[in-house]
């Protein structure tokens, strides 16, 4: 990594991010980051399959692999990247050389090497220019983010929407709340969408989200939005073992209906209210919420 030419102040970074958003414009690809409070909640699997669900709607989707873990996007899809975004930024290859073909027509961009260290001002300018070049080519750019640090802060600056992926265990929920607290502190105006993965059913998912929303509202004055839930699905795991998306391999799987519903919600974010599809004629059945389970209680963690 080149030595940093000088430290970029947080105000300057904020101005750069706002300038990049203006350059991209709303006619360009919408940038959506998927984050999680810890490992083991299936964030990367969600990113792959949500990208495939969006692509199956005829949309052009780029999945940026910014996760340096052993089970990142490239590993789960059995891809062997020859180049990383860093190679394009340094002129070793063209930007197109870094793009790989993923499931359902999704394009995959390995980017963890470009993001794992701090960036000089010049490197940040090249990164912003690359994002500006990529954005008009895609309807959606999904980012499977890395762990906390410089890279994730950089990615948050260029993100239009954030999806927080959590599982249902007590430790996962506590880690999710801690992540929400950090994200809200950094960008208090950004909407935070919560997606619950590997859930046993709608009732338990509703209890967990309601508890998260209540604690975030009381202790952070933050508003969370539910993006729904995905069930635990053996066919999703079978598709992963084949390095494929469940959307293509098992279109009738239980998780696929949820993925398509979530994809429809994501598309609706970027549509004006008048252009959105009308609500179904029959309202969904309203289920009474059971009392909050003690195992799902969330500690405010010093909030």
Query: Measured between alpha carbons, how far is 55 from 107 in angstroms, rounded to an integer?
Result: 10
Q: Which residue from 39, 48, 107 is spatially nearest to 242, judged by alpha carbons?
A: 48
Query: 3-state SS string over 155-183?
Result: HHHCCCEEEEEECCCHHHHHHHHHHHHHH
For residue 294, the tally of other CB atoms under 10 A from its CB is 7
Least confident residue range of 29-33, 105-109, 206-210, 281-285:
281-285
pTM: 0.82
Could you tell me the fold of the domain covering 31-269?
Rossmann fold (3.40.50)
User: What is the mean predicted confidence (pLDDT) over 89-116?
Assistant: 93
At 19-73, the pLDDT tens digits run 544 444 445 689 999 999 988 999 999 999 999 999 999 999 999 999 877 889 9
Contact status, residue 142 vs residue 47, Cβ threshold 8 Å? yes
DSSP-assigned beta bridge partners for residue 143: 33, 64
E strands, the chain, are 30-36, 61-65, 100-101, 107-110, 140-144, 161-166, 192-199, 224-231
Three-class secondary structure of residue 22 per DSSP: helix
Name the band, by pLDDT with cuts 50, 70 and 90, for residue 108: very high
């Amino acid at each position: 990594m080149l030595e940093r030419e000088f430290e970029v102040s947080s105000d300057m970074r904020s101005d750069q991010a706002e300038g990049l958003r203006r350059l991209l414009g709303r006619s360009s690809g919408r940038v959506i980051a998927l984050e999680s409070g810890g490992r083991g909640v299936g964030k990367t699997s969600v990113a792959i399959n949500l990208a495939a669900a969006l692509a199956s709607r005829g949309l052009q989707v780029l999945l940026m692999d910014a996760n340096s873990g052993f089970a990142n996007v490239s590993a789960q899809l059995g891809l062997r990247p020859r180049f990383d975004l860093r190679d394009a930024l340094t002129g070793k290859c063209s930007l197109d050389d870094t793009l790989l073909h993923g499931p359902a027509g999704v394009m995959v961009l390995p980017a963890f090497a470009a993001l794992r260290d701090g960036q000089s001002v010049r490197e940040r300018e090249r990164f912003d220019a690359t994002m500006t070049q990529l954005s008009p080519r895609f309807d959606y750019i999904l980012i499977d983010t890395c762990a906390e640090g410089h890279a994730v802060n950089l990615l948050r600056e260029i993100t239009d929407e954030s999806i927080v992926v959590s599982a249902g265990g007590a430790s996962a929920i506590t880690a999710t709340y801690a992540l929400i607290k950090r994200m809200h502190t950094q960008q208090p105006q950004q909407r935070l969408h919560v997606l619950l993965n590997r859930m046993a059913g709608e009732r338990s998912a509703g209890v967990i989200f309601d508890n998260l929303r209540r604690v975030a509202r009381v202790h952070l004055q933050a508003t969370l939005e539910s993006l729904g839930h995905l069930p635990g699905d053996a066919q999703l795991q079978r598709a992963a073992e084949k390095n494929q998306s469940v959307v293509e391999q098992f279109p009738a799987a239980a998780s696929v209906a949820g993925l398509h519903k979530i994809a429809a919600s994501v598309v609706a974010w970027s549509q004006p209210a008048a252009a959105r599809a009308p609500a179904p004629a029959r309202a969904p059945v309203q289920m009474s919420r059971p009392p909050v389970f003690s195992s799902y209680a969330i500690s405010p963690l010093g909030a």
